[in-house]
Structure 1
Amino acid sequence: MKKLLFVINQFYKGGAETALLNLFHALSPQEYEVDFLLFDQIDQPNAVSLTPLLPSWVNVCNAAQAEGRFAIVKKVAFKVWQKLTRRQMYRAAAYRFVKGKHYDAAFSYGEWMSPEFVAKKVDAAQKYVWIHADVDKAPYVDPQILFGFDPYYQKYLFVSRQSMESAARRFPFLKGRTAVVHNMCADEGIREQAQEPLEQSWPTDRPVVLTVANFRPEKNHLRQVEAMKILRDRGVEFTWVNVGCSADFLVRQKLDQAIQKYGLETSFLRLPADPNPYKYMKRADLVAVLSDFEAWSLVITEAKLLGVPVLATRTSGAMEQIVNGETGVLCDFDAQAIADALEQLLKDEKMRSEIHRNLQGFSTRQTTLMELEQLLKGE
């Protein structure tokens, strides 16, 4: 039995977090013993925690849980310290959780956190940094932090080949020290959840475009509003439903202002984050994934599992996930290009039906498990 450690800062619903949850459910407790360390899992408004959905056999440590109201104060202090020093501070419970343990493999999960803890405080035969973004494009990635503990790590894991190759071009020292482990979906679970009833009314008088994305700058919901304004001026009527956490006040404020400016209050709808967005996907005419950058979109994979056509901007992940015109449609990043592609898909029912047919039988589970098993075997 292999003993694994996964370390993450928090575990709210998002693409990377959901993929990790799916992986935990796919791993066999007869083959793996898993420790899961969360640094800063603090209750947040509008955010959906995934911790209640973890398999019971996963050994979980929420390092902030015992600190009560002081946890948020420490979190702010830790961020200030990291910004000033590029070093990470950690909670005492995190040290206690790993002390005296030896792991076959330890994963620092996410480029948004420092890999220092796994590098210096964890005893493991193999150590990996698992990266979920295009490190050459994501503005929040600090290479000095992300690669600052390089001698401690054997490999860097990426969720798509394109993002891996672009990282290796920018950071040549990565050559020969990278691997791809794709994000995993819970294939049958998604199809089952998609059948659940909706708790609110669903537009039936016109087509529905769905976007599932937390309201963050890189998801660029503002560009969606601009594209919708272009289409309304052309006389193309539809409803755009957006499901996701809106904790970022500045993003929410700018979006509200744009919606009001263009008079789209009844057409551009926002719903809170939902642990089951698949019931919306199943009922949508198409799913739009319009990020500025994305190494591998779990939403694209989920929509493909449900046979729903996807329109996506040409991010590195989308270009690997979609065969343009066959399993979805790719477009450029400006509002005009998005509007043109949306109009084509909304009006061309034959194209949508053909994409749906091409997605029959699509699956993800075995690919990801095989990639991880090969990594752990050193292949």
Structure 2
Amino acid sequence: MKKKLLFIIPSLNSGGGEKSLVTLLSKIDFDSYDVDLFLLDHHGLFMKFIPPQVRLLPLTESYRIFTLPLGPSLWKLLIRGKGRLAFNRMLFSLKNRIGNNVSRKEQYSWKYLSAVLSKLPQRYDVAVGFLEKTSTYFCVDKVDAHKKIGWVHIDYEKLGMDPEFDRPYFKRLDSIVTVSEECAQILKQRFPEEEHKIQVMYNIVSPLIIHQMANQDGKDIFKKQEDEIVIVSVGRLHYQKGFEMAIAACKKLLDRGYKVKWNIIGDGEERDKLTGLIEQYKLKDHFHLLGLRSNPYPYIKQADIYAQTSKFEGKSIAIDEAKILHKPILVTNFSTAKDQIEHGHDGLIVDMNVDAIAEGIEKLILDSGLRARLSMNLSQLKLGTEEEIYKFYGLVNGRVMGG
């Protein structure tokens, strides 16, 4: 008999965790597993990559009304006689306006969002909250399952979450999966009582699929001029990614006389702020926010350098993808950088500041031999992680995962 699996994630709009989930779903043996997916938002960049065998669970009309802007939401809830939900909607809005930390807002507003989310009627063999915070809380509070798994895709300490809020939820999980050894150590230090549950499963990346998609667009995307260096970065426009440092580094490189075009693939809440910085530095012809791309691989393939200026990461899928495409890579020295890059061998790790980023890019521009050597070393590595799906099977079937 097939096992019944449920995956929970707020949306498939963009992001490494979201991409990791659709890749994992594409690898599942549907002859052995029935798979349901619960999303709080049925729109997004990666929706089209959900395998047809996966059943997307419906959302209620009450939830749809709850997620409208505050005024229309309150009015529609009240005229339907749902006064208690209207009260929770108001408190939900209030909690999301207090304080500066986005993660804590999501934590503290859960109980008000929870009021409009019914417990799922289906019983599952395994339920997976595939992202920290809301996915985990829904998995624990709203799902009946024999086994419950939480997934942490980030350096827990860097998000500024309230661990005391998460502690009772982690206690009720059977396993806590994270994406790198460094992230696992951080979780074990913060939650020593749950150490026996914490396991590592790398994000699944497929070199075959990435190379196929990278070759889908054969035209010159960037229309490069002579002696021009094209840099690409991929990531959500969020404080975590440090793109304000990339903009300032781009300015320094131009001031030193280098012909640089820096392109960011992604979108997010910092678009207006970053656009303002681009205008302030007069970089509109040199620093481009390209928005979301369902297929970023032709852009990475045609770039001269891939740069990741993050302040913190779990295990960056974008870095793994740039490695598969054999790009010279520069990353800042966030806590998990050394999990993915060996400095001087398959990329450069630089200090987390504007000057170091600019100097690292300059080094790659001036030393074509270094760029070629990094690319050659990457071409000799085994970079696919498709076998991680067997760790997942071991996890859902009750065996201890390796690695």
State TM-score, norm by structure 1: 0.89
Q: What per-residue deviation string (whole Å, max 9, x for no partner) do you get for residues 85-135 of structure 1?
A: 65253486x636x31x22221111211426232113212221111001111
Q: 1:52 to 1:90 in 2, by over 3 A?
A: farther
Q: Which of 54, 57, 79 is the aligned partner of 2:50?
A: 54
Query: RCO higher in 1 or 2 (8 Å CA, sep ≥ 6)?
Result: 1
Report the equivalent of 1:123: 144
Distance 2:300 2:20 in 1: 18
Q: CA deviation at 1:378?
A: 2.2
Q: What SS does structure 2 have at the residue aligned with 1:288?
A: strand
Aligned-residue Cα RMSD (Å) equals 2.4
CA deviation map 1:47-89 (0-9, x unaligned)? x431122100011124268965663346975464685665253
Aligned with 2:236 (options 195, 214, 221): 214
* TM-score, normalisation: structure 2: 0.84
Summarize the alignment of residues 335-374 of structure 1 with structure 2, pairs less than 5 Å apart: 335-360=354-379, 362-374=382-394
Name structure 2 gaps, 5 residues minimum: 74-87, 97-104
Q: C-alpha displacement at 1:338, in angstroms?
A: 0.8
Query: Secondary structure of the residue that 1:146 maps to in structure 2?
Result: helix
Instruction: Find the residue that maps to 2:125 and give its secondary structure.
Output: strand
Q: Which residue, out of 241, 245, 252, partners 2:267?
A: 245
Task: Identify the residue that residue 29 of structure 1 maps to in structure 2.
Answer: 30
Q: 1:328 to 1:85 in 2, by over 3 A?
A: closer
The residue number in structure 1 matching 2:113 is: 89
Classify the secondary structure of the residue corresponding to 1:72.
Answer: coil
Whether 1:10 aligns to 2:6 is no
Mark the CA change 1:354 to 1:66 in structure 2 (over 3 Å): closer, same or farther. farther
1:270 corresponds in structure 2 to: 289
How far 1:153 moved relative to its partner? 0.8
User: How many residues matched?
Assistant: 367
The equivalent of 1:71 in structure 2 is 67
Counterpart CA distance in 2 for 1:212 and 1:65 is 35
1:228-377 alignment runs, 5 A limit = 228-246=250-268, 248=269, 251-360=270-379, 362-376=382-396, 377=398
1:317-336 per-position Cα deviation (integer Å, ceiling 9, x unaligned): 32101111112111111111
Gaps of 5+ in 1: none
Paired-residue identity, %: 28
In structure 2, the CA distance between the partners of 1:68 and 1:170, relative to structure 1 (3 Å rule), is closer
Query: What residue identity is the alignment partner of 1:213?
Result: G
Report the secondary structure of 1:149's partner residue: helix
Cα separation, partners in 2 of 1:54 and 1:260, compared to 1, 3 Å = same
Aligned match for 2:188, one of 157, 165, 168: 168
Partner Cα separation in structure 2 for residue 87 and residue 308 of structure 1 = 45
Q: Secondary structure at the match of 1:263?
A: coil
Q: Which protein shows a greater Rg?
A: 2
Q: Secondary structure at the match of 2:370?
A: helix
Q: Could you tell which deviates more after superposition, 61-70 or 17-26? A: 61-70
Question: Given the alignment of the two structures, is residue 153 of structure 1 paired with residue 173 of structure 2, yes or no?
Answer: yes
Higher alpha-carbon deviation: 166-175 or 82-91: 82-91
Match for 1:267: what amino acid?
A: H
SS in 2 for 1:345: helix
1:66 to 1:363, Cα distance in 2 relative to 1, 3 A:
farther
Which stretch of the first structure deviates more once superposed, 313-322 or 283-292?
A: 313-322
Q: 1:66 to 1:278 in 2, by over 3 A?
A: farther
Query: Is 175-184 or 149-158 further displaced after alignment?
Result: 149-158
Q: Which moved more, 1:312-321 or 1:152-161?
A: 312-321
Name the amino acid aligned to 1:144. E
- Cα offset, 1:257, TM superposition: 2.5
After TM superposition, give the deviation of residue 218 of structure 1 in Å. Answer: 1.2
**What SS does the aligned partner of 1:110 have?**
coil
- Alignment partners' CA distance in 2, 1:137 and 1:341: 24
Between 1:106-115 and 1:268-277, the stretch displaced more is 106-115
